[in-house]
Structure 1
Amino acid sequence: MGQTPSTNHANDSRNKVQRALTKTEIYNLYYTRCLQVLKPSELAFVKSVVRDNKDDEKGTKVVSRDKLLAQFLNVSTTSSDGSNRLLDILFPIMKRLGQFPFLQDNVAAGQELTLHEFVIALTFISARYTKMLGSSFNFLGLLFVSLSQDKSIIGADIDKFEETPVEIPLIHPFEESDDMNLKARKVDWKNCSEFGDMEDVATQTRIDASGFVTVTTLALIAKSIPLSKQSTMGNQLISRIRQWDEFESYAVSLLRFVNVNLSSTKLDGETISYHEFSHVVTELVPNLYQDGLKRLAAELFTSPKAATDTTKGGDEDSNEQAQKKHFTFEPTKLVTPATLCYISSLLKGSGSNLQVTTENAVKLYAGSESGFSIRSLETKIFKWQAPTFLVVSGKRIKQKTIDTNRRYQKFDESYPRYFLKQENNLQVWQHENDRITYCVVIREPWQSSNKKNFGDESTTIISISPRADCYKSTHSDVTKGKSVYFNNQGMGLGFGNLQPLNKNGNQRYYPGDVSLTIEANLEFAVFRHLAQSTTTNHATNFFKPSCQSQLCAENFEDRFTITDLEVWGIGSMKELDEQRQQWEWEEKQANARQSVNLRSMGEERAFLEMAGLVGNHGNYGSG
């Protein structure tokens, strides 16, 4: 295509070469550049769209909502499996993203996308835009604007672009012989100031709270889908969309990080600013939206044939699938794919590199199955040598329990009171009927710690519901993150506490200012948050207070009766396999102990005694 300047000349001329073009010309060049950065599988999908969709009355290739639905999910538009809901959300977002780079000349969403709009939107959803605009481009601001209904931001039709020339920077000057492809590469897209500052545009508008919940639910669903063969992706997505209400409950919890007074029944007329939107992303769920949309693009907007061509050999894949059959994730009442995605997203906000998915999470203990006993809990979790997370859930303690339940009264006597009896210990945003759920993520293996705490500074407390929050460990050269105890001598579990006292019938807890305490019968729990502590107890601050703007300086407690408690392991395939073999061996030995007739064993009995499989007094096992 003609000679290009030398590297030195290119560097000297960067940001100095300008070219006046109309908005229509710039838009067409940007579309051309977008085509150049798509992956082969994505480009193959675009070609199939061009082939299977019609032209409008102006001869422009368009992509209809119904055609797109049928094409990437291979389902009819009358299907009730949730695919329509997906398009109802995704289509208008794509319509607005597809108007870039001139957002103030945008058009309200309709039932069709032009081919230009579809391709440009695809580069943003798939994160290919970084090849043109750089990784520092404010995608969050662009997404926020795309969710806005503000007509001052989204107004005129693209066909009515002003034809007044606009100066844009070039990396290399245009030559007369340059075709559209070469010109698109010569534009310095990263430094096109005419595109506007995304943050500046975003701060001029607001989005509906219901819109926040909807797009957050979609992002969580997309992010929860495990990577797999392309042929199964559509089915996985539809399966997750059928669980929409469950994912939505977690999106509402994230909304309450924006404003603790909001709830799923109080969304009408409520709006969110860009500052609030970016705060929840920065503090809690970094890259949730970009990662979720990127996964969505990988699952929807790629050619199955192209994806298959790039996969590994069938034998290797078959072996991997055979291994995974041993570890089929079985959801429980407390932990589901939505729960795992939510926890993993908040962990990323805490700075942890741990990821929790349906492919690496294994249930170690569930109180509903094994009984709410600290001995049972100890038996199930102490042999796991990899990270774990504990989830505890229940109902807020009501006055009747306080007045009549002697077990709670005994716990209440041992746990230092912060709020006086005559005080209302509920804040305005706390409600008597709240279901409360907390999660604690621990990297170190569990151990009996009746004298000394264990753990490290990666331990994290997560508020799951009714609001999202994340409490990170504080750094201390003295405590070194040893914030966990497992006391099997009558004092239960503690996260963020000093060792409790249990001596001569005197029991006493020493809760930290930010802490979660579970009493020994696994019946009651207290989460304490004292941002302005005036107590003189021996508490040590193991965890940082909330970073939620309304709660960071507020004192509150969540006291609840436990209804569910589970502990899950987070492991690699190797760890999962080792744990499975250990469980199989234990089950085999247990069956052997139950089946032998010890009174007639003779020499075999003596052998079993030496092996420690039976006791010396006719007892089956050690006790």
Structure 2
Amino acid sequence: MGQAQSDERPVPPSHENIAKELADKFAQKCFTSLELYSFKDVFKSLADRQDHIRYLKEDTISRFLEIPDVLGVSPVLFQMVSYIGAFPFLEDAPAVLGLEQMVMVVTILTERYGRVLARGATDRRKLLFKSLAVYDRKLSGLSPSEQRNVREENPENSRDQAVNAIPVSARSLRFAVDEAKEEEDSGAEEDDELVLAALGSLDYLGAFKHGSSPATHNAMIPADNWRKMIMLLLLVAPLGAQESLSSYSDRLTGSELEGLRATADCVLASFLNVEQAAGIKFAQFNAIIPALMPFIFGGFTPLFEHFLFSKNLDFRRTKDGSPRPATSPAELVQPLLQDRGSIMNHNLLSQISFFIPSSSLFRKLRLLYSGDEDGFSMGSFESKVFNWRAPTILLVSGTRLEDDPTHKGIGAESAFLKTLPSRRFPPGSLVKNERLTYGVYLSQPWKYTHRECFGGEDTLLFQLQPIHDVFRASTVNRDYASFNKPSASVPIGGVSFGCPPPQSTQAYRRSNVVSLGPVSLALDSSFEFGCFTHNYTSRGGAFQTSVARKFDFEDRFRISSIEVWGCGGDEEARLQAERWAWEAREAEARRRVNLGTGDIDADRALLEMAGLIGGNRSGGSMA
């Protein structure tokens, strides 16, 4: 009798077993033993039980993380967490958030997965986009205006159809989805870098078909959902390790809350015009996040690290069990801003932290110069700013000048307009009296501009209102920043960024017209007017063109406030104070020179020894 050959092949392990194996690997490699113990203790204290299964609910997670109800973001956050909890088999989402699923969530949202998935798996943008996206086949095939008409004509009907299309298991997560047909997704499979790296780390890469998770081309993040998430990200941006989110509750009342919403709208405007589009597509999301706000999700790390610190572990007790002496909250927590400015506030500071590392901003900024307090003059600016030996942030705010071609302005406005080139781009928007806020980050100290501008390749030119935009330095030229007081050789003067220095421009000396760079910000010497130019057609100069706005525009505005903030610590402040003190002593010594004795020759000899007259010096004004 012969023995038949078996055609049986090894059966790959189930999704559940692989997910558990990956969670165990994440837990062992990405958490310390103390963090893992705390994590299990926190989960045990929070979890509900049903049929021997422990899991976390939406309100449980929101309460634990202290997510404010006023933001209305809890359902959006829970949708994101439930999707990520299904990793690496995202087609199984939404996941029941058990212990292994929460290990996935915390590891990915705190970016600890890099300790395990080292094969280039450092980009989680696609995963975050999918976790926030919805899949609406009916709306995705329509134009933005048609989408809006459908929602306006049949708001209840379209909502009911969407809800009825959701599986029962997903309705509790409030997914507003309508799954795309299989034939629409055929040939559009997408490999997720994180998924491939995760399966590869367990040697299961070839055992499973990839691309079974929803394709991004049919997905979008609803504008309202993304607005709510942006408000949360602005709120958690300054969060420190083990710091409670409730400590920022003062930012959620009255004018502070309105300011938070307004700032979120400015960030949202980078992605889409809410009047013309229903949501954000992956192409927009993937292009804008790295260019304009690479650190926008940074606040998730301290927020979700709360799961790694159990309140049952009290490290405030001494070895004999007695509590340590209490420390007052004022000694533990410093204010986010040590000074008050007319432009800078908590919300704008959080917005800036989306593209400048928060370690250089929160509790580190000092107000060096404020036009409202120190006067709108370049002399005051120089005396307050030039001695700071650390990076600085300049902010300027104002209202757009009239865009009527027949409007020539009066007085100072007319004089300013005459210094600008006759060629004019359309304004960035058509809203009258709109508030504009621009800024510049400089890592190098300020100084006078002679033949060459100053600043490095890390210089940033940005806009905060009414749209969030960042223009990074390029290598086309190095005309990053210039500071020129009006003089015989520089009749106009002013502060500019992205413009060639006046002394190097023959046309400027002949016509007294400012030479504006392709992407530039120019402020006049009286700090009364400013002009921002974005010549997208030219492809940029010292600064790159916008990723969000691919067209030419120019904003001419009347300055209402201008201020400079120093990025640094106590050492930079000490050096600046010493320099100010030295200059004050020198000025006082000069004032005390005893002149007018009646002996003209003796007085002249004394001034020559002091170096104030003699040679080519006239002894005139020292201003």
Report if TM-score (shorter chain) is over 0.5: yes
Three-state SS of the structure 2 residue aligned to 1:345 is coil
Change in CA separation of 1:369 and 1:62 when aligned onto 2, cut-off 3 Å = same
Contact preservation (8 Å) 1:450, 1:488: no
Alignment partner, residue 542 of structure 1: 542
Matches within 5 A, 1:327-338: 329-338=338-347
Q: Give the superposition deviation at 1:560.
A: 0.7
Alignment partner, residue 211 of structure 1: 225
2:216 pairs with 198, 202, 210, which one? 202
Change in CA separation of 1:151 and 1:304 when aligned onto 2, cut-off 3 Å = farther
Change in CA separation of 1:185 and 1:412 when aligned onto 2, cut-off 3 Å = closer
Amino acid across the alignment from 1:546? S
Contact preservation (8 Å) 1:386, 1:444: yes
Q: Give the superposition deviation at 1:339.
A: 2.3
Change in CA separation of 1:379 and 1:18 when aligned onto 2, cut-off 3 Å = farther
Question: Does residue 148 of structure 1 match 2:133?
Answer: yes
Alignment partner, residue 292 of structure 1: 299
Three-state SS of the structure 2 residue aligned to 1:390 is strand
TM-score normalized by the length of structure 2: 0.70
Question: Does residue 389 of structure 1 match 2:393?
Answer: yes
Q: After the TM superposition, which of the residue ranges 399-408 and 125-134 deviates more from structure 2?
A: 399-408
Question: Does residue 233 of structure 1 match 2:244?
Answer: yes
Amino acid across the alignment from 1:395? T
Contact preservation (8 Å) 2:337, 2:365: no
Supply the distance in 2 between the matched residues of 1:590 and 1:307 (Cα, whole angstroms): 57
Q: Give the superposition deviation at 1:405.
A: 2.3
Amino acid across the alignment from 2:292? L
Three-state SS of the structure 2 residue aligned to 1:94 is helix
Supply the distance in 1 between the matched residues of 2:574 and 2:212 (Cα, whole angstroms): 48
Change in CA separation of 1:197 and 1:251 when aligned onto 2, cut-off 3 Å = farther
Question: Does residue 345 of structure 1 match 2:330?
Answer: no
Matches within 5 A, 1:440-479: 440-449=440-449, 452-476=452-476
Alignment partner, residue 523 of structure 1: 528
Q: Give the superposition deviation at 1:369.
A: 1.4
Three-state SS of the structure 2 residue aligned to 1:257 is coil
Alignment partner, residue 417 of structure 2: 412
Q: Give the superposition deviation at 1:381.
A: 1.0
Q: Give the superposition deviation at 1:297.
A: 1.6
Supply the distance in 2 between the matched residues of 1:151 and 1:506 (Cα, whole angstroms): 58
Change in CA separation of 1:28 and 1:133 when aligned onto 2, cut-off 3 Å = same
Three-state SS of the structure 1 residue aligned to 2:269 is helix
Supply the distance in 1 between the matched residues of 2:497 and 2:199 (Cα, whole angstroms): 55
Change in CA separation of 1:393 and 1:185 when aligned onto 2, cut-off 3 Å = closer
Supply the distance in 1 between the matched residues of 2:129 and 2:576 (Cα, whole angstroms): 45
Q: After the TM superposition, which of the residue ranges 98-107 and 517-526 deviates more from structure 2?
A: 98-107
Supply the distance in 2 between the matched residues of 1:133 and 1:462 (Cα, whole angstroms): 34
Change in CA separation of 1:374 and 1:154 when aligned onto 2, cut-off 3 Å = farther
Contact preservation (8 Å) 1:437, 1:466: yes
Q: Give the superposition deviation at 1:379.
A: 1.6
**Which stretches in structure 1 are left out of the alignment for 5+ residues?**
1-16, 159-183, 349-353, 535-539, 600-605, 613-620
Matches within 5 A, 1:268-279: 270-279=278-287
Supply the distance in 2 between the matched residues of 1:531 and 1:451 (Cα, whole angstroms): 27
Identity over aligned pairs, percent: 23
Q: Give the superposition deviation at 1:518.
A: 0.6
Amino acid across the alignment from 1:257? S
Supply the distance in 2 between the matched residues of 1:493 and 1:413 (Cα, whole angstroms): 17
1:38 pairs with 15, 24, 31, which one? 31
Change in CA separation of 1:294 and 1:328 when aligned onto 2, cut-off 3 Å = closer
Alignment partner, residue 139 of structure 1: 124
1:122 pairs with 106, 114, 126, which one? 106
Contact preservation (8 Å) 1:375, 1:488: no
Change in CA separation of 1:568 and 1:58 when aligned onto 2, cut-off 3 Å = same
Three-state SS of the structure 2 residue aligned to 1:561 is strand
Alignment partner, residue 255 of structure 1: 268
Contact preservation (8 Å) 2:295, 2:356: no
Alignment partner, residue 556 of structure 1: 553
TM-score normalized by the length of structure 1: 0.70
Supply the distance in 2 between the matched residues of 1:218 and 1:426 (Cα, whole angstroms): 31
Three-state SS of the structure 2 residue aligned to 1:510 is coil
Matches within 5 A, 1:169-208: 188=202, 191=205, 194=208, 196-197=210-211, 201-208=215-222
Alignment partner, residue 426 of structure 1: 427
Contact preservation (8 Å) 1:455, 1:483: yes
Q: Give the superposition deviation at 1:591.
A: 10
Change in CA separation of 1:237 and 1:116 when aligned onto 2, cut-off 3 Å = farther
